[in-house]
Structures are given as C-alpha cells and as structure tokens.
Chains A and B, each alone.
Chain A
Amino acid sequence: MIRNKTTALCLILAMSAAFSGCAEKGAKSPLDAKNPVTIEVWNYYNGDQLTAFDNLVSTFNESVGKEKGIIVKSSSQGSVNDLETNALAAIRGEVGAAEVPNIFMAYADTAYTADQLGGIVDLKPYLTEEEAAAYIDSYIKEGDFNGSGEIKIFPMAKSTEVLVLNKTDWDAFAAETGARIDDLATIEGLTAAAQSYYEWTDAKTPDVPEDGSALYGRDAMANYILVGSMQLGTELFTVSDGKMTLHFEKDIVRKLWDNYYIPFIKGYFAASGRFRSDDIKTGNIIAYVGSSSGVSFFPDTVIKSEQNSYPIEMEVLPCPAFLGGDSYAVQQGAGMVVTKGSETELYGCVEFLKWFTADSQNILFSVQSGYLPVTKTANNKTAILDSGAQINPNMEKTLPVAVDTVNENQTYTTKAFADATKARTILEYSMSDRAVQDRGIVAQRLADGQSLEDAASEFCADAYFDEWYAETLEQLQAFENK
C-alpha cells in the first residue's frame, strides 16, 4: 500500500519535472498556439494585388498561423512611397508616426536607410543554407548590404516590365497601316510606330488638324532611364561602400530624350493620370510599358465617356529595348523587411515569410497579382502553368512573358545608396514632367493653329536639351558620394 503511494508520489514528481522540462524546450521556439503573436505587415498593394495578398494572409491565419500561434494583420499603405515614408517615420520614432510594423515592404534603398537606422533584422540566422539557396540568387543578394551574406530583405514577389497592348485597337491600326507587332520590340521601333499611329488617328478626322492619338505611355520613367542607360552601356549609378558615383552620359541621355521627350511633346506618347493603365482605361493610349504586376489593373473596357465605351483585348509583349543595346531588364519589387522585435515576433515573421514564398503560395500570389515568384523552382513558366492555380487570361498572357524576361535578360536593379529614392525621383519626374509641361504648351500652340512642327520646334532644339541636361545633371550630382 505504502509502496504504491510512493510510486504515485514519484510519478507526480517525475511528471512535474517533465512539465517544466517541456516548458524549457518550448523556449527554443517561443511560438505558442494558445497565446498567438500578432504580426503587423505593411504593404503598398492595391486592387487585385491587395486582394490576393489579403486572401493569402487569411489562408495563413486560418492554417499555419492558427496552428503555430501567429496572427498576421496586413494593411496597405496606399503607395510604395507612402509606405516607405511611414515606415521610416515609424522607425525614426517621429511625432505622430504609427508604431513600427513587424514587416514592411521596401525597396533596397529604403531597406538600406532603415538598416542604417538600426531598425531591421538580418534573417540569415533564421534560414538554413538550403532554404536561402532556394531563392533566386540576385533576389537574395539584394539585402546583402555589407557583403557579408546577410539577408536583410526577404524576397517576396518580384516584377519586371512588360509592354501591354490594347490589342483590339492595335489590331485596327495594324490592319490599316500594316504595322507589325514586332516593331514594338525595340524602343526605336516603338517610337516610329507611335508616330505612325498618331498620324493614322489624326487622319481619321481630316477636319480637325493635329488631333492624333498617342500610342504609348510609360510608367516608371526612372526604370526607362536606368535600364535604358544600362542597355546603352553605362550604369547610371554605380555604388561602392554605399556611395554613389554618377554616370549621366550626355549622349546616352540624349538618346533617351529623343525616344521619350520628343515623341511625347509631339503627342505620339502620352501620360495623364497616375498610371498608364488609367490612360488605357480612358482610351488615351493603347500600349504602355509598366510593371508586370500592374497588368492586373489593365481594364477590360475602354471608357472614353459614359456613352462611349467598348471592350478590349489585351496583349503582353516583352519590354522594348534599345536597338543593339545590351540585354538588360529591370528587376523590381519590394522585398519584405523585418524590423526588430521580440524573438516570438521574429519567429512569427520568418514563419510567415517562408510560408508565403513556398512555391504553391508564391505561384498562387503570382497568378493573382502579376508578380513573379522568387524561388528558382517557382519562377518557371511550366511550374506556374502546371501549378493548378486558377489563372485569369490576363495573367496567363503576362506571366510567361515576364518570366522569360527575367530568365533571358540580365536583370537590373539599382543598388542601394543614401537618398537613392530621391535620386530616383529626379529620374522619374525630371524628363516626364518636362514632357508633360511642354506638351501642354505644344497642345496650346496646336489649338492656336500652329503646325506640330512649329509648335514643337523650340523644344526639339539641342540647346533646350542641353539646358535640361545641365539642370538634371546638377540635381543628380547632389547625391553623388553622399
């Protein structure tokens, strides 16, 4: 009897020891399903991308998150610029700033700035070498700021640029003018085709002079200049030790000018509203170069007005490149940056990011958002098409082109340096704003009855370019060696 009681006592002691043992082991992975950790994720997605992202987050919360005790809350900060501004403000602890999210999406330069502020975490310790090797090398290297192999940006979804075409209207134009879609493979070809399209549409209303329509518009002018410069043989910003050296070669810039500014003021190109997809939507243009991820915004209807709207078909083509230039394609898309937090939160973050970039989820997100998968196995046409994920026709057209672009070209993305974002903003707006502004003058002059030639001649002059060049050069030089 007594022996039995002793045994029971021993059992109790052993059990309690075992429990405490369990508790200690648990400390290794601090996640606790009963006491879930909440992970705040900031993104800049809108529209379908946001929906796709939120859907995946929900899926995560209901499956792995619930199982492991992670609740991911995502919120869109509207635009990438807003996101980066807010995130940096939060990290800096500025007055009125929100609390620092656990994860925010950031381009390399923002991540770099945040890293300089000491706000972000190297994720390498949380990934096995095998896991890290699964990602496309250039993507994972993006977050290696100091060359030590650190991973401060977790690749999540990438995009490249493609040319998207309102095939319905293009076909009408091509049918009448014999324009070939191959013309759009080069920038020079595109410019020519745009002039031809302007003239063709202008001719549709003989009674109204110079009322031709623009063929083309471009999102992300900085990409045009950076990748264009690269294709033409010079890397605009070279960076070593976080310091940038500027290579704003005049002849190259002139070539970029001639293939954007000049056709723009002449009305061959156009840009109104925020995104070129809006211009497609309102029937302003019929083709644009934009992020493969932006394709989801491509409308299925052109609404010129409430009374004048018609359905259109979309075609996706590789992004045109300079004739004879090096084969570079932009690689863009923010990665995920994990901010400092408790060990539990970090585990939660990594857990979520790994799950999100696992092939099935990553492909699912790709086909819904137009972003490209980030692992070597998933970034593959066959893998995507065979994934069984429901894929809408637009995406079915986009992804193969985008994947090929990434796989067949050298991908280019700017390296991080101080105030890179501001430098990039100059590239973004310097030429395009000038173009919009000058196009306004030209349009006014045309309305006043001047010929296109006359109206544009002032702006086509070399001196005008020189003046602009000098101005821009000066602006950019301000960022050199900062």
Chain B
Amino acid sequence: MKKRDRTIFRELLLPLICVLVFETLFMICAIVFGGVIGKLNDNATDMLAQQTENRGNYLLNEMIRNWSDLEMLSDSIDAKFSEKLALEELTFDDLNENSAGCVELLKEISPELIDTMYSKKISGIFVILNAQEPNTAAAKSLQGIYLRDLDPMATPSERNADLLWERAPAEIVRSGYIATDTGWKPGFSASDSVEQDFFYKPYETAYADGCRLNEKDYGYWTTTPYSLEGDTHTAISYSVPLILEDGTVYGVLGIELLTDYINSLLPSEELLDKKQGSYLLAVDFDSDRYLTPIVISGDTIGLQDVTDMQLTLSEDFCSAESADKNYYGAAKHLALYRNNAPFDTDQWYLLGIGTKRSLFAFSRQMQRILFISVVLTFIIGFAGILYASYRLSKPIRTLSEEVAKAQQDNSMPQLPPTGIREIDRFADSITCLGREVVVSSTRLLSIMDMASVELAGYELEEETGHVYVTDNYFSLLGITGIDQTTLNIQKFMTLQEHLHQSLDYFDAEDGSIVYSVPQPDKSLRYLRYEHQQKDRRHIGLIEDVTASTLEKMRIERERDSDGLTKLYARRGFKREADRLFLKPDLLKHAGLLMIDLDNLKTTNDRFGHNFGDLYIQTAGRCFVENTPENTLCARMSGDEFIVFFYGYDSRDEIRQKVAALYRAIGDVEFVLPNGDNMGLSASGGVAWYPEDSMNLSELMKYADFAMYQVKRSKKGAYREFDIKIYEEHLMQNQNRMEFHKMLETQDINYFFQPIFSSADGAAYAFEALMRVNLPTLRSPETVLRLAKEEGRMHDIEYLTLFRATECYRVLLERGAVPQEALLFVNSIANERMTEEEEQRYHEQYHELQSRVVVEITEAEHLDMDLIHKKSSVENFSGMFALDDYGSGYNSELNLLSLKPKFVKVDISIVRDVDTDLNKQQIIINIVNYAHKRDMIIIAEGIETSNELIKVMELGVDLLQGYYLARPAEVPLSINAEALDVIRNFHANE
C-alpha cells in the first residue's frame, strides 16, 4: 500500500492536536466528575449557615437577656406608682389625662428610663399609661413618654444631648435638656397606642387574661415595623404590660429598636462577598413554615422588595427558600417566648439570605474560570500548535520549494536562511553538496576531456525521466545526427539496444563489454562499455580502449605461440583446444598425439643448443607439414609436442593420418655438424576422443602415459593408450602411496589369535597378526612385498614390535588377556631394530619383554648372526619361535641354528593331517625331536576337529587355528566345540 503523501505541517499538527484534544477532554472530565463544584456549593451554604447561627445567637442573646429584660424597670415603676397611689398624690383617673400627678410620675421615672435606654443600648424606650378599658381608650390620647436615641451605640452625651422626645408632656420637655423631635407630641394619640400592637397586644392580653401571669409572660415583640405619627423612622419594639400587685393593668412599658439600628447590628456584609447577602428577621406566625419578613438589613442590591419575597422554611427549619427559588437563606430560630406564652405562636427567625446566584458565585466563578481555562488552554494550545507547526514547516517548505524551483531551472538553489539552526545547517550542507557536485561534475568533465583516452557516458533517471548524455557519446559509438535535447529514456534505450545488436563486441575480463566500432579508415576502434544500475538510475560509461586492446591482443598472440617453431605454445594450444572442446560436433572423433623428441638431450650435449633448436624447428615444421590443415600442432615444452587431430568420422581415419605422420618423421634427415646424417626420432602416444576421454587434460594425460610407455620400451615409435595398463599402473602407484602413508602415520593395527594348551585348552599365548585397512592395500603380504620392494623392511620390523607390544599392553591393562600368557610377535628375520630403538623399546615395554616370543618366519636364508643379535635386546626373554616349520626353506637347518623355544608346524602340514600319514610322520618326528630338546611344538592352522584330535594324538603341545579361535582385535576365547573335543580327548585317554 502506498503511503499517502503528507506535508510536514500536517504531520506535526495532527498528533499534537490529538494530544491537545485528549488533554482538554481530560480536564473537562476532571471538572465535571471531580465533585469539586458541589463541594464548593456545600461550603458556601455551610458558611452562610455558620454566620447566621453566630449572628442569630448574638441577636437572640441581646433580645432575651438584654433588651427584653425589663423586670427591674417595671418593678420600679410599679413601686413608684403604688407609692403615689398610697400617698394619694395620684389616682388611676389621673393617668388618663395631663394631670400634674401624671406628669410628675412620668418626670420621676424619666431618669430611670434614660438610664435603661443607655445601658441597654436601645434606640428608644417608652411608657404609655392607661387606666381605662382598652376599647374606650381609643377615644382619647394617652399619657406617657417616648424617648429616642438615634445613636444607641455611642456613649451617652452630656446633658442627654443626643436624646429626643418623641412623646412627652410639654412640662417635661421644658424642664429638661432634651430636645424634641420634629414629630414631638405631648401625648399618644389612638393611632400611636391602642391601634398599635406594641401597646394593645400586651395590654389587652394581660387585661383579658386577668393578669394571671407575670408581666414578663405577656411580653410581646412587634412583628411589623411601625412609625409613630409624624415620625419618619420605623421601628420594632418589645413591650410588657405594667401590672400592679393587685393585678391592675395601668400601662405598657417598652423598648424600641429602630429598624436602621437593627440593621446596623446585622452586618450583612459578613454573609457573602461583595455585600450581596442580607439578614432578614422574619416570623412564622402559625408554624406553617411560611415566613413574614420584618426587617431586612444590608444593601438590597439584587434583592427584590421584601414584601414580595415569599419565603418558606425547609422542613428542618434550618434553611429557607423563596417561592421563585432564586433566594436561599440559612435560618436561625430565635426562641423569644417561652412555651405556651401568649405569643409563642410567633416563631422568629433570623435568615442569612442571598440570591443563589451570589451564594454560589464562587463555585460559579470557579466553574467559569475552569471553563475559561479549558477554553483558553485549548485555544492557546491550538494556536501554539498551529504556530509551531507553521513555524517549523514553513522554512522546510520554503526550502523544498526553492529546491524544486532550482531543479526546474537547472540552477543552483538559493536557500534562504530560516533561522532554525539545524535546518539552516542542513540547507547549507545541501547547497554545499550541490555546489560540490556541480564542481566535481565539471571537474569530472574536464578530467574526461584531459584524459588520454576518450571517455563518454550517460545517466538516466527513470523516476524523473532525466537523460544526461555527454556530447561525444554517440559520435564515439559511430552514430551521428542525434539530437540530444529531444532524447528521452525510451529513445535512448532503443538506440543503445540497436548499437548492441549491430556492433561486434567481446566480454572483457572485468565483466564489461568491449565494442569494436569500425572506423572510416577501416580500422577498428575498441570501446569499453560499462553499465551500472542503481535502483532506477542507469549510469553508463564508454572508454576508448583501442590502444590497450590492440596492445593486449599483440601480447596475447605472442604468448600463445612458440617463438622457435611458430607453433602454438602451451597456452595457445590450451585456448584453441578449449574452444574446440566446447563444440563436440566440431571435434567428432579426435586423436591427441603426444610426441616427445628422442635424443634431444644428447643432441644438445653433443652439438650445442643451436643445433638442438634446429632439431626442434625441423621437427615442428615436419609436424605441420605432414598433417592436415585442421590439425592443431603445439610445442608444449622443450622436446614435447602435441598434434591434435579432430573432425574425423572414425579412429581409423586418424590412425592413417598418424601413421602418415610417422612415416614422414622417419624420412627426415639431418646433416650433423660432424657431417654424419641423423634422422628425426620421436616417441608418441595417442589418446582418443571421445573413446578414452572427453576431457582435454585427461586425454593429454593418457597420451602422455602411452608415450612414456613407448619411451621406456622402444623409442621412435608410437602406441595407443590402453586403459587397462593405465589402471594397473595406477593401482600399483596407489598401493605404494598408501604403504608410504601407512608408514608415515603408523596406521597399522594388530589382531591377536590365541594359542591354546593341548592339555586343558587354556590360552597359553597370543600371536600378534598385522591388519592393514587401507583403500587398496589390505593384505599383510602386499605390505611385506612393498616393504621389500621399497626397502622399508626395517620400518615394518620396528612398527610390528612397537605396535604389537603396545596393542597387547592395552589388552593386558583391560584384562582381555591372562596375565601369564606369552606374546608371539612376527619378526623379519633379516632385520633388526637399531640400538636406539631397542633401548626405547626396553624403556617402554620392559615389564612385557620377558613374555615376548620373537617368531622368525622361515626365509630363503636366515642371517643367524643378525638373529642372535636380536636376542641382545636388553631384558629380552630369549625365546624364539620358528614359524612355518615344514613349509620348505631348510627347516631342519634353521631348527638347528636357531634353537627356538617354540616350533610352529606349518598349516600345510596340519591341513588334513588326520588323513595323511606322511604329515603325521613329520609331526611325530618333530615332536620327538623337539621334546627331547625341551622345545614346544605348536600346531597352527587347525581348522577341523579331526585335525585337532590328530595333532593332540601326535603329542603337539600347543594349538592354534580358526577351529579354536579366529584372530580378533580383542582375543576371542576358545571355541566351545573345540574345548569339548580337547576335554573328550583327554577323558578318553
């Protein structure tokens, strides 16, 4: 599959964007599934709840323990009033009008009220007196005072300068140093008293209830902010009825908290960031969880009108939510009333409230930041990737465009610097390289011009279709009129093929082709052509090699011919013959006549080399002149010639030609320098193609063999090669070679044949027998013959002694032979080891020496001196055995001179001894002779049980033969059958 062609920009961009997209997805997942946002929201509500709880506790503490703690004050007022009643300074009725007594009472309680107001840090305090039925009170204004402090948190002013009268009788206003507020009135109108909850509710409840409870239990917190007539401030208040000990309700005492003041005590900015939260005091009237707002603190930025907000408490009363779900509040219950108190249905709550938007602003902001971060990361990452990819790819693209342009224009590319070091370096290298290529190509051209031989070449690029041909290419090849500018690859190839077809050529030794191009002057021009293909690029070079080729051809010619005879020399003949042997139909029947000039050496010696040369020249000429034209005549060396007949239909035809040649040779006569006549004599051997061999060198060998046979017998003649003689000759050579090799490598083994005692069949001794195992050389007899022929008997003697003893020693060590058995070694009678060898033998095998029996084979003539010297080997046992007794060769004489310990009766005597009385007699004789002289008789070659029985009957001491045990590398034990025979024989005795 072909890889798509992609730009570097794309290659950079795609994987990076993949990574970016993955990262972005990962971040989004982390945000979405991380749970952080939910946690942040929980934190926000928790913090809101905590703040609300704290603030609520503070407020509750103020409301219960401080502001609503009016017992002391009310007691004091009660006491003052009771006292005045008792002193009759005042009656109940006085309380209902601006009476002096009433004013006096109010004046007297004023300082206490002021003190209480200051100490409780409240914005107002009031006492409203009423001694009438509540409903009739509506008709008239009520007496009382209502003091206001606009800055309750501030330290009290000198002369109460920071207080204002809201309500007080004029007399009281004039008497003190307290200013009146703009809305000051001497008394409380109905709308300021009986129509107001702060008066009516506690008063009426206590009145209706008959004042069974404490004043405090009738205490009431107004749930709706109110304003006094003519006043702009709104406030809430807590009020208790004033009850005398007898249960008479005579008024109301209350404290007032301006809503502004409450607001200042509820710092909403502590709730949420950027003051987005508010505190809301609200009441749940009927435990229906529906909240009625009372006071809301804080900037109402983002908060709608309080009255519009329908808040409902959650079921655990800990939070609240607006009907439109836009607002959330943490709720703190303010337990203002004791259980079952008259107003305990009013359940007060402090809410820390804010829009969910602002409450969860942080988490939303976090979300936004995270979102923006993700988007920005993506955008910046994307932009960065684009930019980086662009930055990286641009210079490369520019470079590649420049290079492409340059390629089109065939000019050197002008590579602008990119500012990227690696790329610039790369571009510089390319430019440099390009320049060098240009320089080197022009250099090459100039070198080509300057070369002494003419050079031309071409280059083809299949991919680009580019063809470059040197101007002289075609002219050199003898073609003119080629327009090189219109040349394309196809056309060039066609031309090239045409040239190849039409021009003569031969292959040069280096694998190139040499074309011979005919020149107008009829001479030839030799052009060496070499072609290379790398991938899809072809490069060809032609080189004018005319001079060198001609020179080479001259040298070759000289080398191939013999200077003296002008015949082919060995090399020339070889070349010509090789060429012929490639074409059997040209050879048909052929005969290779190998000729050796006889007597050249003597001629040279006697008449000098000049005459010798003449002799050779004459011979050569004779060969050429007396053979048909298609005969190859060659002088191989000094006096050796080859005459090769070929192209005949039968051997006989050739035989006639050879015979004709020999006749001609016989006719040649020289006049020697001394004036004598001398004939030409040449010995020859003929080998036939294809009968003897189809191989040139084999034919030459055969012919040579045949020739030497002639040379060895009757010179001046010729004979044909006989494969049988050749092979025999070869065989002998082979045996001889192997024999020598055997001696060299001492590659000779010994088998052992046991010699048994005829008394009990026990192994008495072992004879070491040579075993040769070579490709052609197998029998010990051949070995001995060759040894005799080659004069290597001594080697055999030496080898036998050492190798046989060594093999036996190994057997002894392995326990394959009994410890006391003797070793019979065949010694060559007329050979002995050198003293040095004898010494070494003694050193190596002295422990065995006492058991070695030297077996002397009878020979034509035994050199007794030599034999006795054998016994001079140090430590030698002195035991000889005379082998092959009775086989001929002066046996008795040997017996006498040798005086052997053992006499081995030859196999020819033992064979059929059981039936041949003569043989029996011979044995009887030798046994007689031997036993009298303490010699031991061995019958060897026993092959049947009868023979065995017979030799035992005849008194032979020891037994040897195939019937008992064959020789083996590891000696065999006695044949069981033979053992039985031996035992039976003795048993029958």
Chain A positions within 8 Å of B, measured between CB atoms, are: 2, 5-6, 8-9, 12, 35-36, 38, 46-48, 51, 71, 75-79, 81-82, 85-86, 98, 272-275, 278-279, 281-284, 297, 303-307
The one of B157, B174, B264, B386 that contacts A78, using a Cβ cutoff of 8 Å: B157
A38 partner residues in chain B, CB cutoff 8 A = 269, 275
A47 and B150 contact, CB distance less than 8 A = no
B174 touches A79 (CB 8 A): no
| Contact among A6, A35, A279, A306 for B187, CB-based, below 8 A | A306
Residue of A272, A306, A307 contacting most chain B CB atoms (<10 Å) = A306
The reply to whether A273 and B157 contact each other, CB–CB distance below 8 Å, is: no
Bound together, the chains give a CA A80 to CA B159 distance in angstroms of 14
B379 in the interface (beta carbon within 8 A): yes
**Nearest CB of chain B from residue A264's CB, rounded to whole Å:** 15
Stretch with Cβ within 8 A of A (4 or more), from B177-185, B243-251, B698-706? B177-185
Closest to B178 in A: A274
Q: Which of B98, B151, B174, B380 contacts A77 (CB 8 A)?
A: B151
B-side contacts of A98, CB under 8 Å:
153
Binary contact track B329-357/A, C-beta < 8 Å → 1, others 0:
00000000000000000000000000000
Q: Which of A86, A273, A304 has the most CB of B within 10 A?
A: A273
Given contacts A47-B182, A86-B154, A306-B186, contact A274 B177 (CB under 8 A): yes
18 contacts between A and B (CB under 8 A): A2-B9, A5-B387, A6-B390, A36-B274, A76-B151, A78-B151, A78-B157, A79-B162, A82-B154, A82-B155, A273-B177, A273-B180, A274-B161, A274-B178, A282-B173, A303-B184, A305-B170, A306-B186
Contact of B387 among A9, A81, A274 (CB under 8 A): A9
4 residue pairs, one from A and one from B, having the closest CB atoms: A274-B179, A78-B162, A78-B151, A272-B174
Q: Is the CB of B173 within 8 A of A76?
A: no
B174 to A273, Cβ gap below 8 A?
yes
B141-156 CB mask vs A (1 if < 8 Å, else 0) is 1000000011101110
Identify A76's interface contact among B150, B169, B386, CB under 8 A. B150
A275 to B159, CA, bound (A): 12
Known contacts A274-B179, A306-B187; decide if A284 and B274 are in contact (CB<8 Å). no
Q: Is the CB of A75 within 8 A of B299?
A: no
Closest to A73 in B: B299
- Across the interface, name the chain B residue whose C-beta is closest to A306: B186
Contacts of A297 in B (CB 8 A): 182
Q: Is B170 in contact with A282, judged by CB distance below 8 angstroms? A: yes
Are B390 and A306 in contact, with the CB atoms below 8 A?
no
Contacts known (A6-B390, A75-B264, A282-B170); A82 close to B177, Cβ less than 8 A: no
Contact residues of B between 815 and 831, Cβ < 8 Å to A = none
Nearest B residue to A3, CB-CB: B390
Closest to A71 in B: B299
Point out the residues of chain A lying under 8 angstroms from B98, CB to CB: 305-307
B155 contacts A303, C-beta separation under 8 Å = no
Interchain nearest-CB distance for A7 vs B (Å):
11
* A85-B162 in contact (CB<8A): no
User: CA of A85 to CA of B164 in the docked complex: distance in angstroms?
Assistant: 19
Interchain nearest-CB distance for A400 vs B (Å): 23
> Cα distance A342–B379 when bound, in Å?
38
Given contacts A278-B173, A304-B170, contact A273 B383 (CB under 8 A): no
With an 8 A cutoff between CB atoms, is B232 at the interface? Answer: yes
Given A79-B157, A82-B151, residue A273 in contact with residue B185 (CB < 8 A): no
Say which residue of B159, B169, B379 sits within 8 Å of A12 (CB atoms).
B379
Q: Check if B176 is an interface residue, CB within 8 A of chain A.
A: yes
- Cα-based distance from A9 to B275 in the complex (angstroms): 39
A351 CA to B174 CA in the complex, in Å? 43
Cα distance, A77 to B164, chains bound together (Å): 13
Q: Across the interface, which residues of A come within 8 angstroms of B274, CB to CB?
A: 35-36
Q: Within the complex, which residue of B164, B174, B383, B390 is in contact with A282, where a contact is CB–CB below 8 Å? A: B174
Q: Does B865 contact A (CB under 8 A)?
A: no
Of B153, B161, B182, B232, which contacts A79 at CB under 8 A? B161
**B422 at interface, CB cutoff 8 A:** no
Interface flag for B585 (CB, 8 Å): no
State in angstroms the CA–CA spacing of A473 and B787 once bound together: 174
CA distance A6 to B9 in the complex (A): 14
A2-B390 in contact given A46-B164, A282-B173 (Cβ < 8 Å): yes
In the bound assembly, the distance between CA atoms of A272 and B171 in angstroms comes to: 10
Residues of chain B within 8 A of A82, CB atoms compared: 151, 154-155, 157, 161-162
Q: Which residues of B contact A303 (CB under 8 A)?
A: 170, 184-186
CA distance A12 to B175 in the complex (A): 78
User: In the assembly, what is the distance between CA of A299 and CA of B274, in Å?
Assistant: 43
- Chain A residue nearest to B386 in the complex (CB): A5
Cross-chain contact A2 with B161 (CB below 8 angstroms): no
CB distance B174 to A8 under 8 Å?
no
Task: Say which residue of A2, A47, A305 sits within 8 Å of B186 (CB atoms).
Answer: A305
In the bound complex, residues from chain A placing their C-beta under 8 Å from that of B629 are none
Contact between B181 and A47 (Cβ–Cβ < 8 Å)?
Answer: yes
In the complex, what residues of B have CB within 8 A of residue A35's CB? 274
User: Does B161 contact A5, Cβ atoms closer than 8 Å?
Assistant: no
Known: A81-B161, A85-B154, A281-B180. 18 other contacts (CB 8 A): A8-B383, A9-B383, A75-B151, A77-B151, A78-B154, A78-B162, A81-B158, A82-B155, A86-B154, A86-B155, A273-B177, A274-B177, A274-B179, A278-B173, A297-B182, A303-B186, A305-B98, A305-B186
Among A47, A278, A304, find the residue whose CB has the most chain B CB atoms closer than 10 A. A278
Give the distance to chain B from A321, nearest Cβ to Cβ, in Å.
27
Q: Which residues of B contact A48 (CB under 8 A)?
A: 182
Q: Cβ of A81: which chain B residues have Cβ within 8 Å of it? A: 157-158, 161
Assembly CA distance A56 to B299 (angstroms): 17
Specify which of A48, A77, A79, A272 lies most central, judged by the most chain B CB atoms within 10 Å of its CB. A79
Contact B162 A281 (CB under 8 A): no
The verdict on A78 contacting B149 (CB below 8 Å), with A35-B274, A273-B179, A284-B174 known, is: yes
- With the chains together, A98 CA to B98 CA distance in Å? 41
Within 8 A of A (CB), among B166-203: 169-170, 173-182, 184-187
CB-CB under 8 A from A305, the residues of chain B are 98, 169-170, 186
Flag if B184 contacts A281 (CB, 8 Å).
yes
Q: Are B170 and A6 in contact (CB under 8 A)?
A: no
Q: What's the Cα separation between A48 and B157 when bound, in Å? A: 21
A368 and B154 CA atoms in complex are apart in Å by 27
Q: Which of B162, B232, B275 contacts A51 (CB 8 A)?
A: B232
Q: Is the CB of B150 within 8 A of A275?
A: no
Instruction: Report the minimal beta-carbon distance from B169 to chain A, rounded to whole angstroms.
Output: 8
Chain A residues with CB below 8 A from B264, complex form = 75
Query: Is A77 in contact with B179, judged by CB distance below 8 angstroms?
Result: no
Taking the nearest CB of chain A, how far is it from the CB of B238, in angstroms? 22
Kindly list chain B residues whose C-beta atoms are within 8 Å of the C-beta of A278. 173-174, 179-180, 184
Q: Could you say which residues of chain B place their CB within 8 Å of the CB of A75?
A: 151, 264
User: CB-CB < 8 A to B380: which residues of A?
Assistant: 12
- A270 nearest CB neighbor, chain B only: B174
Q: Which residue of B lies closest to A75 (CB)?
A: B264
Q: How many whole Å from A146's CB to the nearest CB in chain B?
A: 31
Let me know if B150 and A5 touch, CB within 8 A. Answer: no
Instruction: Report Cα–Cα, A196/B159, bound state, in Å.
Output: 32
Task: Please report the C-alpha to C-alpha distance between residue A284 and residue B171 in the assembled complex, in whole angstroms.
Answer: 11
For B394, list chain A residues within 8 Å (CB): 2
Contacts of A279 in B (CB 8 A): 174
Contacts of A281 in B (CB 8 A): 173, 180, 184
- Min Cβ gap B160→A in Å is 8
- Among residues of A, the one whose C-beta sits closest to the C-beta of B269 is A38
A5 touches B157 (CB 8 A): no
Residues of B within 8 A of A9 (CB): 383, 386-387
Look across to chain A and name the residue whose beta carbon is closest to the beta carbon of B233: A50
From the candidates B141, B275, B379, name the one contacting A306 in the complex (CB within 8 A): B141
Q: Report Cα–Cα, A306/B390, bound state, in Å.
A: 95
Contact B181 A77 (CB under 8 A): no
In the assembled complex, the Cα of A33 lies from the Cα of B157 at a distance in Å of: 39
A201 to B177, CA, bound (A): 25
Complex: A81 Cα to B157 Cα, angstroms: 8
Nearest CB in chain A: distance from B140 CB, A: 9
Task: Tell me the B659-688 residues at the A interface (CB within 8 Å).
Answer: none
